[in-house]
Amino acid sequence: MNSLTDVLDGRWAGIRRDVRAQVAGTAQPDAYGLGREEHRAQVLDQLHELAATGRPHLGFPVAYGGKGDIGGTIVAFEMLGFGDLSLMVKAGVQWGLFGGAVELLGTREHHEKYLRSIMDLELPGCFAMTEYGHGSDVQNLRTTATYDPAAEEFVIHTPDASARKEYIGNAARDGRMAAVFAQLVTGGESRGVHAFLVPIRDDAGVAMPGVTIEDCGHKAGLNGVDNGRLTFDGVRVPRTALLNRYGDVAPDGTYASPIESDGRRFFTMLGTLVRGRVSVAGSAGSATKRALTIAVRYGDRRTQFERPGTDDEVVVLDYLGHQRKLLPALATTYALHFAQEELVTTLDELQRTEEPDERARRELESHAAGVKAVATWHATSTIQAAREACGGAGYLAENILPQLKADTDVFTTFEGDNTVLLQLVAKGLLTSYEQEVQDLSPLETARFVAEQVVDTVIERTSARKVIERIMDASPRRDDEDSLFDRAWQIAAFEDREEHVLDSLVKRLRKAGRDNGFEVFNSAQDHVLRAGRVHVDRIVLEAFVGAIDRCTDPGTKALLERVCDLYALANIEADRAWFLEHGRFTAQRAKAVVAAVNELCGELRPRARELVDAFAIPEQFLAAPIIAD
């Protein structure tokens, strides 16, 4: 029994094993070198095969043939991330975004009418939120849905080119219906962004009257997904096309919502996006693991240059420089894996709750945004490093890394631009999740902060009991060995988060009526950093929690070292901050660098074991450079 894999497989081990078993019996076609249309056709076929497995049904309500297993469905998406990422994204559009919008924003009528055919892929759909002129700023979308009480219809309209729906997955080729996000106007009054189900193609695949569909064409990667542009010219849909869970229009045009505040309603609706963000973070992790598995296996066999005084050539992973390219990234991948598991668990528990605690819901959204940002940037940099670590061979499509790089590249800017997401995290910290300020723009947050006494309290995650136990037991030494003391590492992360936030609050307090934007903007690097160090801390806590759950002593000891490498490499990269703020002496900072080198050497003989524990099906590792 490989118990490292057991720890990694965690709570949804069953689904992970099912997927592995199923993949083992199938051929996995390559995507590279295919023309765009061939690739799209291949992915659509794969999507139908996936629908037939029933796995996409997992997350949907039991009443409609699903299993209500939200966590399981996200883990299944994560496993899709080991294969062609076009399939993962197309599945995400169909079942996560389109299906999710119908389920979470719609009501019973919509569920009965559509959920089964969405699950079975009889009704391929789109999630039409982003516009050319408004990507991140969803609140200011400009497509309109104007209610006509005479006809009891909504008129969906694109006022100008910058309001066209842009980059919409499933739109260019396969989608029949779209969940279109638009400003609801009734009785001459705008009621904010709502979602509407709009047919975009008939059964023959021809665009519906008034709907113009363009193809976004070739992309850097993910060319198996048919992204397109949608323009609506006075397209009429019935009143019931409104997904009316959080806002409805009566036949006479009267608007009603269970949530009074426009802003809160908007954020509640957006909150349904959380599954998408968690899924992207998970798939980014899978792609990262696949790249590291290839690079570590290659580095473990590739030799270059003779060892002086011998005829033996040095295995490249024995070079410190090579270890530094891969091993801290591997440790971070472990850390993010456990943070992801934590996120999925919380999401699963929360979405099973009828009336979830508002604070817990906001915290989940914040963690999902933050982990998505950190995990996708980590994927981009790690896959890049893995490519470079394989030299020219890493540039050949047959060795998989080029497709991984190209496909994951957009993860940093879709499902929320990472920079905007980190800002969201910071905003949440600044306002301590107070409901009344959720409507504020990030810039208005500055003013809010200026007017409040904000306590910067480190809210520990679900690992808090473990953390407290570790902290209480620690003698809090400050000698060289203490670098490897978990309590010292945790204290360093917590102290950093608290101080970064505290000093940010002080800067933002200078904001007045007239200079709010300027004050906030001149501190934007500080704002983003506050989000970042918060995420780093919750990731470390998740790792610590996972180690605590591990019972096998050997596995536990190995994970402890991997966690040391994650924590110390993170501190090393940021040691300027610790020095600038009087947290480290010069000597201590140098000791951190030396400790990272030492850990690289110590973990090098375990590197192969650490990547093999990801248990990626060999079908997805068919790169000639690592073939026997």
| Residue 581 in contact with a second copy, rule: CB under 8 A | yes
Which of 417/498 has CB closer to a second copy? 417
User: What CA–CA distance (Å, rounded) separates 405 from 220?
Assistant: 9
Beta carbon of residue 92, minimum distance to a second copy (angstroms, whole number): 15
Beta bridge partners of 153: 148, 238
Distances (CA, A) of 591 to 102, 122, 407, 560, 604: 54, 60, 38, 19, 20
Which of 166, 342, 415, 494 is labelled catalytic? 415
Could you tell me how many residues of this chain bind a second copy (CB under 8 A)? 82
Which member of 149, 253, 263, 442 binds a second copy (CB under 8 A)? 442
| Residue 441 in contact with a second copy, rule: CB under 8 A | yes
| Vertex 5 angle, CA 289 and 462, to 5° | 85
* Contact in structure between 210 and 153 (CB atoms under 8 Å): no
Residue ranges in 210-269 that form contacts with a second copy under rule CB under 8 A: 216-221
Which of 351/445 has CB closer to a second copy? 445
What single-letter amino acid sits at 44? L
Beta carbon of residue 109, minimum distance to a second copy (angstroms, whole number): 33
Beta carbon of residue 309, minimum distance to a second copy (angstroms, whole number): 8
| Residue 604 in contact with a second copy, rule: CB under 8 A | no
Beta carbon of residue 319, minimum distance to a second copy (angstroms, whole number): 6
Which member of 360, 443, 458, 621 binds a second copy (CB under 8 A)? 443
Is 415 catalytic? The answer is yes
User: What CA–CA distance (Å, rounded) separates 251 from 266?
Assistant: 23
Beta carbon of residue 209, minimum distance to a second copy (angstroms, whole number): 27
Which of 27/586 has CB closer to a second copy? 586
Residue ranges in 122-151 that form contacts with a second copy under rule CB under 8 A: 130, 133-137, 140
Which member of 3, 474, 597, 619 binds a second copy (CB under 8 A)? 597
List the one residue out of 564, 554, 574, 575 whose CA is nearest residue 597.
Answer: 564
Residue ranges in 528-547 that form contacts with a second copy under rule CB under 8 A: 528
What is the crossing angle of helices 401-408 and 274-299, to 10°? 160
Which of 24/576 has CB closer to a second copy? 576
- Which residue bears the tokens 């991997």? 562
Q: Give the single-character DSSP code of 135.
A: S
Which of 395/618 has CB closer to a second copy? 395
User: What CA–CA distance (Å, rounded) separates 197 from 201?
Assistant: 12
User: What CA–CA distance (Å, rounded) separates 618 from 17?
Assistant: 14
- The site map against a second copy for 88-127 (x = CB under 8 A) is ----------------------------------------
Residue ranges in 296-325 that form contacts with a second copy under rule CB under 8 A: 303-309, 313-314, 318-321, 324
Beta carbon of residue 447, minimum distance to a second copy (angstroms, whole number): 8
Distances (CA, A) of 469 to 404, 463, 477, 498, 544: 40, 10, 16, 20, 11
Q: What is the three-class DSSP state of 211?
A: strand
Which of 340/376 has CB closer to a second copy? 376
What single-letter amino acid sits at 342? E
Pairing of strands 125-128, 177-186: parallel
Which member of 208, 402, 460, 507 binds a second copy (CB under 8 A)? 402
* Contact in structure between 375 and 281 (CB atoms under 8 Å): yes
Which of 279/423 has CB closer to a second copy? 423
Residue 34 CB partners (closer than 8 Å, separation 6+): 42, 223
User: What CA–CA distance (Å, rounded) separates 30 from 27?
Assistant: 10
Which member of 18, 495, 517, 617 binds a second copy (CB under 8 A)? 517
Which member of 186, 412, 555, 570 binds a second copy (CB under 8 A)? 412
| Residue 25 in contact with a second copy, rule: CB under 8 A | no
Which of 261/419 has CB closer to a second copy? 419
* Contact in structure between 520 and 445 (CB atoms under 8 Å): yes
Residue ranges in 382-401 that form contacts with a second copy under rule CB under 8 A: 384, 387-388, 391-392, 394-398, 401
| Residue 575 in contact with a second copy, rule: CB under 8 A | yes
User: What CA–CA distance (Å, rounded) separates 206 from 224?
Assistant: 21
Residue ranges in 27-56 that form contacts with a second copy under rule CB under 8 A: 32-33, 35-36
Q: Which are the catalytic amino acids?
A: 415
